[in-house]
Chains A and B, each alone.
Chain A
Amino acid sequence: GQQVMQIPQYQHVQEGEDFTTYCNSSTTLSNIQWYKQRPGGHPVFLIQLVKSGEVKKQKRLTFQFGEAKKNSSLHITATQTTDVGTYFCAVPTASKLTFGTGTRLQVTL
Chain B
Amino acid sequence: DAGVIQSPRHEVTEMGQEVTLRCKPISGHDYLFWYRQTMMRGLELLIYFNNNVPIDDSGMPEDRFSAKMPNASFSTLKIQPSEPRDSAVYFCASSLGPTPATYNEQFFGPGTRLTVL
Chief secondary structure at chain B's binding surface = strand
The stretch among B16-24, B70-78, B80-88, B94-102 that forms the contact with chain A is B94-102
If A31-B102, A33-B103, A42-B111 touch, whether A95 touches B48 (CB-CB below 8 Å) is: yes
Check A98 against B45 for contact (C-beta < 8 Å).
yes
Residue B110 CB within 8 A of the other chain? yes
Residue A97 CB within 8 A of the other chain? yes
Chain A residue numbers with a CB within 8 Å of B31 are 95
Chain B residue numbers with a CB within 8 Å of A109 are none
Residue A48 CB within 8 A of the other chain? yes
Residue B12 CB within 8 A of the other chain? no
Chain A residue numbers with a CB within 8 Å of B103 are 30-31, 33, 48, 92, 97
Within the complex, which residue of B56, B98, B102, B108 is in contact with A43, where a contact is CB–CB below 8 Å? B108
Chain B residue numbers with a CB within 8 Å of A33 are 103, 105
Chain B residue numbers with a CB within 8 Å of A90 are 106
Which single residue of chain B is at the shortest CB-CB distance from A88? B43
Chain B residue numbers with a CB within 8 Å of A30 are 101-103
Binding site for A on B (CB under 8 A): 31, 33, 42-43, 45, 48, 50, 55-56, 91, 93, 97-98, 101-103, 105-111
Binding site for B on A (CB under 8 A): 30-31, 33, 41-45, 48, 50, 88, 90, 92, 94-99, 101-102
